[in-house]
Amino acid sequence: MKTTLRGLSAAAILLAGCGGGGSGVVAVVDSWAPTTPPNAPSAAIYLEINNGTGQDDRLVSADIDRCDAIELHNTTIDDNRIMRMRLAEPETMVIPAGGSLVMEPAGLHVMCIGLDAPFREGETLQLSLALESGATLDVTTGVENR
């Protein structure tokens, strides 16, 4: 799966006129992916997306050329302390006006399924995020262990 990346600055320009307070843009302020073992079939990517506009937006999809498929997931722990991973419900992907969507371990994340190679410490990944508003955020994500 290959993606044509359009650049974060283009998304910032598109969103600059959206009104409301803050910076007037939706932007990724932090992103990272942990390293993976040599034969891992999948990997997680974590993000923080800030919304400086006056309108809610929503992350609807992601794309990266390093895997066969991408899904937006949510990890939950049930009453018996069993961890479960499921497709994220659309309402969990809202980036509130003036707020943030935080994707972190044991919670929301981008799941990269069918890796072409392991994620190695120090490399970078090119990720493209599609928002409900029609904007695309293109992100360079570092592979690191936090």
> Tens digits of per-residue pLDDT, 52-98?
999 999 999 999 989 999 999 999 888 898 999 999 999 999 999 99
- Identify the DSSP state of 10: H
DSSP string over 18-82: S-SSTTSSEEEEEEEE----TT-SEEEEEEEEEE-SSS-EEEEEEEETTEEEEEEEEEEE-TT--
Strands 26-33 and 42-51: antiparallel
Task: Count H helices and E strands in the chain, helices first.
Answer: 1, 10
Q: What value does the mean pLDDT take over residues 27-46?
A: 96
pLDDT at position 141 over 90: yes
Rounded-to-5 percentages of helix, strand, coil across the chain: 10, 50, 45
CB neighbourhood size of 35 (10 A) = 15
Stated pTM of the model: 0.81
> For position 30, what pLDDT does the model report?
96
